[in-house]
Every structure is written in C-alpha cells, then in structure tokens.
Structure 1
Amino acid sequence: MSRNVDVVVIGGGQAGLAAGYHLRRLGLDFVVLDAQATPGGAWQHTWDSLHLFSPAAHSSLPGRIMPPQAAETYPGAAHVVDYLTDYEQRYDIPVLRPVQVEAVHRDGAHLRVESAAGSWSARTVISATGTWWRPFVPAIPGRTEFKGRQLHTVDYRRPADLAGKRVIVVGGGNSGAQIAADLAHDTDVTWVTRRPARFLADDIDGRALFDHATARRRALDEGRTDTGGVASLGDIVAVPPVREARDAGLLKAEPMFTRLTATGAEWADGTRARADAIVWCTGFRPALSHLAPLGLRGSRGRIPTAGTQALREPRLHLLGYGDWTGPASATLIGVGRPAREAARTAVTVARQDAAGEE
C-alpha cells in the first residue's frame, strides 16, 4: 500500500536538505528518502584531507550559515557532515534512512516511488541523488592488464594507505590536483592530465566561482553572449595544499599515457613508468538509475530539463547534478536557489491538484 504525500525527495545530502528546507517553509507534506545510514550525504565518504573551496560563511545552505571551523579558513569534510547533521535536525526535515529507492513509475496523476521499505505516491518527485555513487573510469587500453591496485576518487582516503608506493594519479580537475598534492610527500607520485593543468588565480575560491556561474546563467537567460562559465577561468582551485605542492615543484602535470601495461603506464613516444597503483580522478555520472522506468534519458546520460523540471515529465525535478539543473547546483551555496524554485513549483502542483479534487 502506497503512502500519499505531496512530494518525495530522493536523496538526503545537501541538495535534498535544501529542498526539504523550502518544502517545510511552504507547508507541504513531504518525505526525504536517503540511502545512507547516517546524515551527511557523500561528504561522509570523501578522503580525509578534503576541504571546501570557500570559507564556511560562503558554503551554506539556505536559512543556516555554516559556522566556521576552528583554525581552518576552508572547512574540512567532517565539519560539513556535522553541519548537515545539525541542519537536518534544526529544521526537523523528515528524512527516512536507510531507504534505497529502486524505481519511480508513472501512476495516473501521480508518480509512484518504490523502495525496499515500501512505496510512496507523490504529486511531485525531486531527485537529488547526486553523482558520487556513479564513479567513471575511462576505457583506457590495457586497464584490465595492469596488475597493481586501481582506485577511484571514491576509494581514496589518505596517503598512509599508499606510502612508499609508485602512484599515478589521473585527472586534471580539483580532485586530481588535491589527491596528487596529498600524496606528494609520502609516495613517488606521477600526475597525468589530458591537457595542461589550468590553475585558477590564487585569490579565486568558491565565492567567485558561484558569482561567475550565476552571471553566466543571467546572461544566457537575457540572450546575451555566453561568458563561457566557470570552465573559462580554469580547472583547478588553488586551495592551500595544492598551492603549496605546486610552488614546491611537487605538482607538475605530465601528458596522459596512451595505455596501461601489467606493471605501469606507457606513453605515445614509448616512454614507460612503473606503478604500484593508479588513482582515477576521472569524474562521475549522474546517479539516475531509479528514474529508468520513466524513459527520460537524453544525450550523455542526462535528462533534458528546463531549470530543474524534466521536460518530458513535469512532475519530476532534478536537483544538484550540475549546472544543467541550476547554476552551481552541485555546491552547498549554489543549490539553495534551484531548490527553492523546485519547491515553489511543487506548491503550485499541490494546490492545483487539491482544487481539482474538490
């Protein structure tokens, strides 16, 4: 038997909590279904040294400024978990966990959300499952031949786990740079990127990136020239550990190898390097398998949207997967605005349905 609610939010990380905050303020009957056993979303699974790109005050969800972390300009992941835990409790957001959502189906005028814990019938569904749960590793020749250890960003925790090893870190984004910097003092690390590493200016952090993404969205909405977005500024935020490793000459990007061998990597010119481990910092894909029954996938695995609303299923909103679901919506500071718009649309739907039932 399905339980009836106005809104089901799938995912209890930062995007799901931001949606819950606005839904609570608007007085809707809703539930948040989270697959994790404890609060904190993906932040509770990151590597030990991970820090935000922005100070606490500029890394906050709607309604509650993140308190600063003692002796840290840029808060660490554990501080973010504490903040999200407090946020969930402070606003009494109705999160059920651990609940793994298996599928979302059309069911007449509603959407039916199915899980091992039961099913819910909702006027609106907000999917906020993020990307952490779908790590991507490219199909590099020889990858299955390599006899060393292979990890993705999601598997890496601390330098001590690889101390004294020869490690190749693959990826020219923030994760690749931060993990290569983290390993630089304890391992023989080689950092490889598909194109030359592009560091943002040292004074640019998440605040400036959010402002730039917002300005780009405003320009596009007004029909003005595309500014190129955050990617036009560079790929890597020079947070202090990255800056220190770079300035010490420990963080130099090498070109991408062409194949892996049983014992390491090989480049196009025949150069070889032995390796005990590869760390793939090669990104993620949206975790959307629960939406497969709706048949909405477009190019690159994405669901076409207008803002957060799915074009071919307006009862569905996607929140926090990247700029395609709202400017900077995959960040703490950026998810509040698209979450508010999704909640407002859910209110409109609930009121229209209620009026039609009278």
Structure 2
Amino acid sequence: MNEILDTIVIGGGQAGLASGYHLKKKGLRFLILETSDKVGGSWPHYYDSLKLFSPARFSSMPGMKFPGEANDYPKRDEVIRYLNEYRTRFQLPLRTNQRVATVEKGSEGFIIYTLAGDTFRAKTIINATGSFHNPYKPVIPGQDTFRGRLVHSSQYRNPEPFRNQRVIIVGRGNSAVQIGVELSEVSKTTLAVLQPIQFVNQKLWGQDLHFWIKLIGFDTFPFWRLGKNAPSSSAVNDPGPYKTRIAEGKPNQQPMFTSLYEDGVIWPDGTKEAVDTIIFATGYRPNLPYLQGINALDAEGRPLHRAGISNVPGLYYVGLEGQRSFASATLRGVGPDAKFIVKRLFSYLKL
C-alpha cells in the first residue's frame, strides 16, 4: 500500500475491534491487521468450555449490546459470534493473515511490514494484540529427562485426549482451576501450587460480583496511576462449584513439585510419582518483538507506556492488562480504553 493511513490497528480481537469502532466514529482512515485467518483474536484458540466471568449485561463492547439472557455467562463460541457480528455491523476494515514482522519509523509516521510480504504506512499505530501467542512455561529441573507430555494451557481444548491419564496442572488461577475441574471428570488430576488457591464468590447478596465493582467504581478506577503499587490478584472467580470441587479433591491441590524425572514428578517430600501429562497454566509474556526496533519496549520486552500512550510519539496501546483500570483487557473494558486512546490519537493527528 502506498496510501498513508491515519492509523493501523494491529490485532483483530476485542481490543482491535473496539478501537476500530471509535476510529470510525472520528472519521479516520484506518485498517485492522489480524494475524490469523479469523476475526476474534485469541478467542477461537481458547478451550472449548471457556465462559466469561462477567454476565452478558456487563460484557458489551461500545455500540452493540451482548445478546442473550442478561445474567447468563457467555460461552466462548458466543463471544466469537459476537465479535464477528460486531465487525460486520460496523463494517470495520480488517485484513486477516497479516502477522506483523517489523515496524519502522518513517518520515510521515510508521512503516509496517508483515510476514505475508505486504507493507503498510500509517501516521499512527494502535497495538491491540494480546500475549496468547507467547505462552510462558517455567524451566523445571529434570524436564529434559521427562518422557511424558509437557504442554501449556493454551494448547488445551477439551478433556478427551487426557482420558484415564495421570495429569498435573501447574498453576492456581482461573484457567488452572477451570481446566482442572473439567479434567477431573475423566482423569486423576492434581493442581500443583506455590500457595493454596484463593476464591472470590461470583455472586454476593444475589448480584453478580460485577454489579458491585461497577457500582463502587472499582472497575474503572485508574489503578495505572499507582504504578507498581497497583493491586493484582490471582484469586479464582467462583460461580459456585469450583471451591466445592477443590474441597472434594476433584481435583486436589498439592505443593509444587521440585523436579521431574523420566516417568514423572518428585514432590517436596522426595516422593516420586509417575505422570502422563503436565499442563502449565502459567500465563503469558509480552509478544511485541516487532516494536523493539523503534525503542518502544523495555529490556524484558514490555511496552513502555502510560495509560496506553507509548513513549514513542504516535504509538498507542489498547488491551493491555491493567492499562487504565481493573477492567482493561477484558471484553467489557476495552471500549472505554479505546475511546480514551482514540481521543488522544485524534488530537495528535491534528497537531
């Protein structure tokens, strides 16, 4: 493309689509680049049984209500349909199979090169990608000798491949517990944890937790202003069954194993146990190597920004965890963040 657009949005998931909505409202010329062959970012790659923790009435993106019963928790496939319908309704310009390889600074903004061999030019960039494609797996002593299967939770789809296996899940967050409870129906499953799992009740006094956090303003409080002191939590949202199932030992939880051997794990007391599969539900790390060349990242590859505004003029972010509030990076939170960023991007273009 020889045309110089006002903005290139990198990422066609919820953050990219919400950004597109607000860019279109401003009348800006833009294009959304999506890595995969589908709209929806990471959602098509999540495990089959995944549900939102926020009910439908608190899960809408700007301009379009999430369909269905207001108090139901949308399933993964419902979210995928919603994102596709969102793109169609607002006629957002999006090109698939466009994984960004490199970003350079040009005389009139940025030059974006993709692995498909295409080149795009824009005055500004909104990076709206997540970190799903850079899963983190810790290095465990002895793992090179382990003859079983080591996978990340990003590779998990459903319990069937693990039927009748001995499975250990490393982690204590929402994904670890959800997958563990599901696997315990067909396998002997244990959660290996550094600290005991903590739960937060999904419903309080007859209302979903999101009703209360929205009511008191917690959902939109600007925690980014607190910097390193911003609160974080690994507590598991429990709509009802998870705490009970863990208490019943389905799955059970044990202190993290110390190492691996050929057939399995070695627990802290020195006991060896044969294991078929270990699943690391250990999160993700930043995945923005294409921004390294314009000095937009710190030494660990994390974006240098304040509330989504990069240290590099003309570069912005939407969809970062904790970017501006507790809700940032969630389906319900990307809209306000996108509106904030597009407003500042628009002002930058008018300078």
Instruction: Tell me the equivalent position of 1:121.
Output: 121
Confirm whether residue 217 of structure 1 aligns to residue 223 of structure 2: yes
Residue aligning to 1:306: 306
Alignment-mate amino acid for residue 30 of structure 1: F
Shift of 1:318: 1.7
Report if the CA contact (8 A) 1:319-1:325 is conserved: no
Structure 2 match to 1:192 = 192
Which blocks of at least 5 consecutive residues in structure 2 are unaligned?
Answer: none
Q: Is the 8 A contact 1:320 1:326 kept in 2?
A: no
Supply the distance in 2 between the matched residues of 1:135 and 1:268 (Cα, whole angstroms).
26
- Separation in structure 2 between the aligned mates of residue 339 and residue 216 of structure 1, nearest angstrom: 15
Q: 1:209 to 1:273 in 2, by over 3 A?
A: farther
Q: Quick check: 1:305–1:325 contact (8 Å CA) kept in 2?
A: no
Instruction: Tell me the distance in 2 between the aligned counterparts of 1:52 and 1:258.
Output: 33
Aligned residue identity for 2:341: A
Letter in 1 for 2:139: A
User: Residue 69 and residue 85 in structure 1: after superposition, are their counterparts in 2 closer, same or farther (change >3 A)?
Assistant: farther
Check conservation: 1:8, 1:126, Cα contact below 8 A.
Answer: yes
SS of structure 1 residue aligned to 2:12: coil
The alpha carbon displacement at 1:68 in A equals 1.8
The structural deviation recorded for 1:208 is 5.0
Letter in 2 for 1:179: I
Report the CA distance shift for 1:147/1:134 in structure 2 as closer, same or farther (over 3 A). Answer: same
How much has 1:117 moved relative to structure 2?
A: 4.4
Figure out how many residues of one structure are paired with residues of the other and give that number: 344
Give me the whole-angstrom Cα distance separating, in 2, the residues matched to 1:25 and 1:219. 28
| Residue 11 of structure 1 pairs with residue 17 of structure 2 | no
Q: 1:297 to 1:220 in 2, by over 3 A?
A: closer
RMSD between aligned alpha carbons? 2.3
Counterparts of 1:99 and 1:152 in 2: how far apart (Å)? 25
Question: The residue matched to 1:144 in structure 2 has which SS?
Answer: helix
Superposed CA deviations along residues 284-321 of structure 1, whole A, max 9, x for unmatched, are 0122112121122215431221111112x021112212
Offset of residue 252 of structure 1: 3.0
Which piece of structure 1 moves more, 194-203 or 172-181? 194-203
Once structures 1 and 2 are overlaid, which stretch shifts more, 256-265 or 76-85?
256-265
Structure 1: how far apart are the matches of 2:14 and 2:29?
20
Give the deviation of 1:330 after TM superposition: 1.3
Q: Report the Cα distance in structure 2 between the residues aligned to 1:340 and 1:285, rounded to whole angstroms.
A: 26
Displacement of 1:205 in angstroms is: 4.1
Q: Which one is further off, 335-344 or 193-202?
A: 193-202
- 2:307 and 2:248 map into 1 onto residues whose CA distance is 43
1:82-121 superposed matches below 5 A: 82-115=81-114, 116-121=116-121
Q: Distance in 2 between matches of 1:109 and 1:326?
A: 32
Which residue in the other structure is 1:149 paired with? 149
User: So what's the TM-score if we normalise by structure 1?
Assistant: 0.90
Q: Are positions 1:320 and 2:319 aligned together?
A: yes
* C-alpha separation in 1, matches of 2:302 and 2:287: 10
1:253, CA displacement in angstroms? 1.9
TM-aligned CA deviation for residue 209 of structure 1: 5.8
1:94 & 1:111 partners in 2: Cα distance? 19
Cα distance in structure 2, aligned partners of 1:219 and 1:108: 33
The correspondence of residues 170-249 of structure 1 with structure 2, limited to 5 A, is 170-203=170-203, 205-206=209-210, 208=212, 211-215=217-221, 217=223, 220=226, 229-231=231-233, 235-246=235-246, 248-249=248-249
SS at match of 2:144: coil
**TM-score under structure 2 length normalisation:** 0.91
Maintained 8 Å contact 2:9/2:33: yes
For 2:211 and 2:147, the matched residues in 1 are separated by 42
Asked whether the equivalents of residues 323 and 330 of structure 1 are also in contact (C-alpha less than 8 Å), the reply is yes
Q: Which moved more, 1:211-220 or 1:100-109?
A: 211-220
Give the Å deviation of 1:350. 2.1
Measure, in 2, the Cα distance between the counterparts of 1:109 and 1:145.
53
Quote how far apart the aligned CAs of 1:156 are: 0.5
What SS class does the counterpart of residue 154 from structure 1 fall into?
helix
Contact persistence 2:255–2:268 (CA under 8 A):
no
CA contact (8 A) 1:216 1:229 kept: no
Inter-CA distance 206–289: structure 2 relative to 1 (3 Å threshold): farther
Correspondence for 1:355: none
Q: 1:67-113: per-residue Cα shift (whole Å, max 9, x none)?
A: 1269x821110100000000000011100112111111111231111
The percentage of aligned residue pairs carrying the same residue is: 34
Deviation at 1:119? 1.4
Unmatched segments (≥5 aa) in structure 1: 353-358
Give, as a single letter, the amino acid of the residue that structure 2 aligns with 1:46: Y
For the 8 Å contact 1:326–1:335, the answer to whether it is kept is: no
Deviation of 1:230 after TM superposition, in Å, equals 4.7
